[in-house]
Amino acid sequence: MISWMTLAGWGKAILGFGLLILVHEMGHLLALKWRGFPVFAFSLGFGRPWCRLRWQGTEYRLGWLPLGGYVLAEDPAAPVAAAPRGAPRPRDQFLVALAGPLANFLLAWALYWGLIGGVGLPQPIPVVASVLKHGPGADAGLHAGDRVVEMNGVRVRTWDEFVRLIQINGARPARVTVEREGVRQDLTVTPQTEGGRCVVGVVPVQAPRQPVPWARAAGLALVRTITEIRQVVAGLVGMLFAAGGGEVAGPLAIIDHISQAAVSWWAFLALLAVLSINLGVFNLLPIPPLDGIRMVLALLQAIRRRPLEERILLPIYQWGTVGLGLVFLLVTLKDLAGFF
């Protein structure tokens, strides 16, 4: 039977995932407005709008499904001859495409700033907050609340030490000693490889530190954001070029991970910051229909000093979109299989 805690976790995860997409689309909207291009509609949520408001030439909508939003630069119902046609310069195209990922990075910085200035930057400790389904930790019998005290006889005092010992051990069985309700137990955990690193499929408890002054917190938040961006880029490069490619999670698995990991509001916000950075970096990939390909095509157009022909653009977007759609379908099917 599904508990109210599980339902609340999924509800929080869906709203959080939708927020990341909404902020991304708002970046595009504001960039279009800034560069002086007309925007027909901007929707908060998907599905049939239940509320509409026209302001400064743009129709703002509220959809019944709160999973992000979208931007319509032209009226899809207008005749071709009547639809507004602009000839945006390559610089404008590049800036509008870049605005979405930048909005995600800005959101991450704002979340980190609020966390560091409000409760202190959460730091992981070697206590299990949640165990991911069908992972090595779940198979070994790890439970939420377990404190990791040793791995292969080596004392564990911090979460970083535990992560380091996992990498040293590799994808081999390891003896992990945990303290559960005051009693020590030895478990056998076999880490698995994901994206070039070994993981055990558990989320640590995040312990807040002492808040810092807001001015200093802004700088620390910027450093944390840049560090996370570098780590995501490095992990993505490692996943693309490492043998086997690692594990890829789809939207359902991401939402499920959020619902399991977000055991408190500040931990939930810290996780949203990380995911916002992941979404921003992912959209910079030069793959149709992501923002990265639009930036690359804008650069090519600037170099050629004339617009790219439709015979070039159409196959790129058609085959790229079909390929990306197939990837999302496969990872979604894999996510569904993991739930059963």
Would you kindly state where each structural domain of the chain is located, as residue ranges?
89-122+212-340, 123-207
> Which is more confidently placed, 77 or 43?
43
Q: What is the pLDDT of residue 154?
A: 93
> Which is more confidently placed, 28 or 77?
28
> Which is more confidently placed, 313 or 130?
130
Give the integer Cα–Cα distance in Å for 261 and 9: 9
Nearest to 236 by CA among 180, 174, 278, 181: 278
E strand segments, 73-207: 123-131, 147-151, 154-155, 174-180, 183-189, 192-194, 197-199, 202-207
Give the integer Cα–Cα distance in Å for 99 and 78: 27
Give the integer Cα–Cα distance in Å for 262 and 267: 6
Give the integer Cα–Cα distance in Å for 274 and 245: 21
> Which is more confidently placed, 105 or 275?
105
Q: What is the pLDDT of residue 298?
A: 86
Indicate the pLDDT class of residue 269, thresholds 50, 70 and 90. confident
Q: What is the pLDDT of residue 185?
A: 93
Question: What is the mean predicted confidence (pLDDT) over 12-37?
Answer: 84
Instruction: Give, to the nearest 10 degrees, the angle between helix 214-241 and helix 265-283.
Output: 50
107: amino acid identity, one letter:
L
Give the integer Cα–Cα distance in Å for 252 and 331: 9
| 283: Cα within 13 Å, side-chain hemisphere | 24
Q: What is the pLDDT of residue 67?
A: 64
Q: Which of 60-74, 82-96, 143-157, 297-311 has the highest mean pLDDT?
A: 143-157
Q: What is the pLDDT of residue 80?
A: 42
Contact partners, residue 200, CB within 8 Å, separation at least 6: 135, 136, 137, 140, 142, 166, 176, 189, 191, 192
232: tokens are: 């995501």
Residue 130: count other Cβ atoms within 10 Å of its Cβ: 23
The reply to whether CATH 3.60.21.10 applies to domain 123-207 is no
Tens digit of each residue's pLDDT (9 = 90 or more) over 46-96: 778 888 889 888 888 888 876 667 888 764 554 444 444 455 788 888 999
Q: Which helix (H) or strand (E) holds 72?
A: strand 58-72
31: amino acid identity, one letter:
A
Buried b (16+ CB within 10 A) or exposed e, 194-211: bbbbbbbbbbbbbebeee
Indicate the pLDDT class of residue 272, thresholds 50, 70 and 90. confident
Lowest model confidence (mean pLDDT) among 87-101, 218-232, 306-320: 306-320
Nearest to 236 by CA among 283, 271, 290, 167: 283
Grouping H, G, I as helix, E, B as strand and the rest as coil, residue 248 is coil
Q: What is the pLDDT of residue 9?
A: 59
Active site residues: 25
Residue 208 DSSP code: P
Task: State yes or no: pLDDT of 133 exceeds 90.
Answer: no
Buried b (16+ CB within 10 A) or exposed e, 315-335: ebeeebeeeeeeeeeebeeeb
Residues belonging to the chain: 340
In Å, what is the CA distance from 71 to each residue of 59, 142, 159, 232, 263?
Answer: 10, 44, 42, 27, 33
List the Cα angle 9/11/16 in 5-degree steps: 95
Grouping H, G, I as helix, E, B as strand and the rest as coil, residue 236 is helix
pTM equals 0.72
Give the integer Cα–Cα distance in Å for 255 and 331: 13
Average pLDDT, the chain: 79
